[in-house]
Amino acid sequence: MGLKQQEAINAAIAEVYGEENEGGLCCTIETVNGDGQDVSVQVMQDSINISPYPFEDDPLTRFELTGLLQDLDEPELETVDWDANIFATIGTAELEAEEVAELVDLVFVKILACEDKTYEIKASTEDLG
């Protein structure tokens, strides 16, 4: 996957994973996929939210079908909530920031159909607390 994208995502989510964050920060990372559709992943300390989630099946099943879980060495993830064709929230409490950055990159490429190594991100962080 794209090292440049992973580094940009890691920098974008650094504040979310900083020690001073008490869990209220959310980083929204947006881009445009290969079909010209706006897609985003929101990163919180213990979860990510994928929007849109363009499938009918459980997100972890989709992750497995695309090989995403194998690329991450079988991380401990859980489906928190999802609504087919709208969003999916995945629990990432067991992952470090660098692993979440890699997961987000893989989600953009393997789930949201972004062009590997060439998509550009725009990120913003807000306090939801």
Domain parsing of the chain, residue ranges: 3-127
Torsion of CA 78, 13, 24, 62, to 10 degrees: -20
Q: How far is CA 63 from the centre of its chain?
A: 12
Give burial (CB, 10 Å; 0-12/13-18/19+) of 101.
buried
pLDDT at site 1: 61
Rounded to two decimals, the pTM is 0.94
Host H or E run for residue 99? helix 97-106
Rounded CA-CA distance 72/53 in Å is: 20
pLDDT (tens digit per residue) in 38-51: 999 999 999 999 99
**Is 80 a residue whose pLDDT tops 80?**
yes
pLDDT (tens digit per residue) in 1-29: 678 899 999 999 999 999 888 778 999 99
Average pLDDT over all residues of the chain: 92
